[in-house]
Amino acid sequence: MIEISSVRKSFRDVDVLKGISLTIEDHEIYGIVGQSGAGKSTLLRCINGLEPYDSGEITVDGALVNSRDKSALRGLQKRMGMIFQSFNLLERLDVYGNIALPMKFWGINTRSQESRDKIEELIRLVGLEDKAHMKPRQLSGGQKQRVAIARALVLDPQFLLCDEATSALDPEITKGILALLQKINREMGITVVVVTHQMEVVKQICGRVAFLYNGSVLSQGKPEEMFIKPAEKEIQSFLRDKSELLPRTGVNIQVFFVGEGSNEPVITQMARELGKDFSICWAKLEDFRENVYGSLVLNIDKADREQVCNFLSSKKVAWEVLT
Amino acid sequence: MGIASTTSMTGIILTALWQTLYMVFWSTLLSVIIGFIPAIILTLTAPDGLRPIRPVYEILSFLVNVFRSFPFVILLVLVIPFTRLVVGKAIGTTASIVPLTLSAIPFIARIIETALRETDAGVIEAAKSFGASNWQILWRVYIKESIPRILNGIVLLIISLVGYSAMAGTVGGGGIGDIAIRFGYQQYRTDYLVVCSIILIIFVQLIQMIGNHLYKRLS
């Protein structure tokens, strides 16, 4: 468990983290989301001790992350594998050598049968059996990130910290990497912390997320609850998908299908029961892991507003009138 | 002097070639070994280094610049007392290795520093994230990742040392460049001038080719 409480950090006179508190439970995939400059990468670097923080506390299973206590910090870093946006592989080492590198930092004999078996197993896990002796420059971005993932796992960490790990990859490759992270989480029980600005990452793998805005946690919870009907306008603008081309006449009502009620045919019922005409002028479906969530915007006549609102209120759907 | 004892052109040139190789080899080897020390200190203490110490970096950097800006011919004369202390005499092929090495140290130190500091900051960060110590990062990341770049710098060093070794003739160092000046230029022996030039061109080409080949193999 990683516990972060009231962590503050500033670079010179810029406050980057303004009292962040959150808890990452064991075996979950936790997302730290937000726009560039929100402080999410800095927070991740503080968790790993790459960056010191000014005040507050970060503990890993009760042990304090303190960048001044170098030997204790090393021990914690061993338990937290990390991957990066730019992969950060050593150019002169092949796939095998890159994966073996953290072992060398820990004085583990990389030539022992045990080490060799482990490295080969990790190469198989990330699906690069045929590339074990290739150099990074011969690999694609997705393959490089796979090497980095194997490298991050070679010391048997409890946590895998991912700093914008898929931001430099195209959507198809991203899916593959995310599936791999999910597999690592499920099969190896490794807690995964992802820092990202990509909604698809959150939707595909995160069980819980924290939305960071300007150095503070604006909202925390399950992504499907947080992002389908976001109350905060910062999150709305992060999602940036509110259509600006909604009709200017009549009344626009957005209906959300979250959790219970998302399987009920509310819209067709409404048309039949009220005998009113309306148009659907905007709609969106989203996959959050295995579930589908959606929202749509109806445009109705001003005169029908009350009737429609009453009808929607009687159903198990969330809705709001857009102004 | 060795050159005086042989009178045939082949003999003179072969002796001179041997002297050039001897001077360039030892001054390269010594300056690379010694130059590594300031290069590493500069890399570690630089503002973006593992242990930034501004005054150390600034002072050392200034000293390197001062020694680099010394004209070689002046240095040659200035270090004569030092050369006598180290070699026992101030004149001759072995003696000329001292000023050659001294002038090469700041040059190669800067080159190695630049090569080391070109190491990708992200890779260093990754090493840190796995709990690597500063010395491990220096050796396993900085130095090992920079070997091809350092090699390129050494090729550059060898080629400029070939040029400087010609000037070492002034202190009786001998060598191909010295023959070209004394026989070819001062005694109007065009044949010597041509042969010496061709040998130098081939030598430089060869070094560059070997360097390029090694760079490709190592990177």
Query: Tokens at residue B37, please?
Result: 């020390």
- Answer yes or no: do A90 and B133 touch at CB < 8 A: no
> pLDDT, tens digit, for every residue of B157-213?
999 999 888 887 767 888 888 888 888 888 888 998 899 899 999 999 999 999 999
Domain assignments of chain B as residue spans, ordered by start: 3-218
Distance in Å, alpha carbon of B146 to nearest chain A alpha carbon = 9
A-B interface: how many C-beta pairs under 8 angstroms?
Answer: 67
Instruction: Please report the ipTM that was assigned to this predicted complex.
Output: 0.84
Residue B22 CA to residue B17 CA, distance in Å, equals: 8
- pLDDT, average across residues B53-80: 91
**Which of A79, A88, A144 to probe by mutation at the B interface, max B CB count within 10 Å?**
A88
* CA closest to A93 among chain B residues: B145
* CA closest to A156 among chain B residues: B130
pLDDT value at residue A244: 61
Q: Which amino acid is at A14?
A: V
pLDDT value at residue B170: 66
pLDDT value at residue B6: 60
pTM for this one? 0.84
* CA closest to B146 among chain A residues: A92
Q: How many other CB atoms are found less than 10 A from the CB of residue A307?
A: 16
Distance in Å, alpha carbon of B122 to nearest chain A alpha carbon = 5
- Answer yes or no: do A74 and B131 touch at CB < 8 A: yes
Reading chain A (323 residues) residue by residue, the pLDDT tens digits are: 999 999 999 998 889 999 999 999 999 999 999 988 889 999 999 999 999 999 999 999 999 999 889 899 999 999 999 999 999 999 999 999 999 999 999 999 999 999 999 999 999 999 999 999 999 999 999 999 999 999 999 999 999 999 999 999 998 999 999 999 999 999 999 999 999 998 889 988 999 999 999 999 999 999 888 887 777 878 877 776 655 677 888 888 888 887 665 677 888 888 888 888 888 888 877 777 777 777 888 888 888 888 888 888 888 788 888 87
List residues bridging with A219 in a β-sheet. A211
- Answer yes or no: do B140 and A73 touch at CB < 8 A: no
Task: Check if the beta carbon of residue A168 is closer than 8 Å to that of residue A148.
Answer: no
Question: Is the sign of the CA dihedral A96, A99, A103, A108 positive or negative?
Answer: negative
Query: Tokens at residue A227, please?
Result: 């992002």
- Answer yes or no: do A82 and B136 touch at CB < 8 A: no
- Answer yes or no: do A90 and B123 touch at CB < 8 A: yes
pLDDT value at residue B1: 43
Q: How many other CB atoms are found less than 10 A from the CB of residue A235?
A: 18
Q: What is the largest CA-CA distance in chain B?
A: 67
Residue tagged 């200017």 (tokens) = A248
- Answer yes or no: do B140 and A101 touch at CB < 8 A: yes
pLDDT band with cut points at 50, 70 and 90 for residue B100: very high
How is chain B classified by DSSP, letter by letter?
Answer: -HHHH--SHHHHHHHHHHHHHHHHHHHHHHHHHHHHHHHHHHHHHSTTSSS--HHHHHHHHHHHHHHHTS-HHHHHHHTHHHHHHHHS-SSSHHHHHHHHHHHHHHHHHHHHHHHHHTS-HHHHHHHHHTT--HHHIIIIIIIHHHHHHHHHHHHHHHHHHHHHHHHGGGGT---HHHHIIIIIITT--HHHHHHHHHHHHHHHHHHHHHHHHHHHHH-
CATH of B3-218, one of 3.40.50.720, 1.10.3720.10, 3.60.21.10, 3.40.50.150: 1.10.3720.10
Q: What are phi and psi of A299, to 5 degrees?
A: -115, 120
Task: Check if the beta carbon of residue A5 is closer than 8 Å to that of residue A21.
Answer: yes
Task: Check if the beta carbon of residue A204 is closer than 8 Å to that of residue A289.
Answer: yes
Residues of B whose CB is below 8 A from A73? 131
Nearest to B129 among A50, A90, A91 (CB): A50
In chain B, what percentage of residues exceed pLDDT 90? 66
Distance in Å, alpha carbon of B142 to nearest chain A alpha carbon = 10
- Answer yes or no: do B129 and A105 touch at CB < 8 A: no
Q: How many other CB atoms are found less than 10 A from the CB of residue A249?
A: 8
Task: Check if the beta carbon of residue B42 is closer than 8 Å to that of residue B109.
Answer: yes
Q: Which one, of B104, B108, B113, lies nearest residue B79 by Cα?
A: B104
> pLDDT, tens digit, for every residue of B104-141?
999 999 999 999 999 999 999 999 999 999 999 999 99
B141 touches chain A (CB under 8 A): yes
Q: Which one, of A213, A210, A236, lies nearest residue A223 by Cα?
A: A210
Q: Which one, of B47, B160, B50, B154, lies nearest residue B109 by Cα?
A: B154
DSSP A154: T
Residues of B whose CB is below 8 A from A82? 126, 129-130
Nearest to B132 among A86, A88, A105 (CB): A105
* CA closest to B219 among chain A residues: A92
Residues of A whose CB is below 8 A from B145? 90-92
- Answer yes or no: do B131 and A101 touch at CB < 8 A: no
Contacts 24+ apart (CB under 8 A), A99-102: A99/A123, A99/A147, A99/A150, A99/A151, A99/A154, A100/A154, A101/A151, A101/B127, A101/B130, A101/B140, A102/A151, A102/A152, A102/A154, A102/A155, A102/B130, A102/B131, A102/B132
| Among B residues 97-126, those touching chain A with beta carbons less than 8 Å apart | 120, 122-123, 125-126
Q: Is residue B2's pLDDT more than 50?
A: no
- Answer yes or no: do A77 and B147 touch at CB < 8 A: no
Q: Which one, of B133, B121, B141, lies nearest residue A106 by Cα?
A: B133
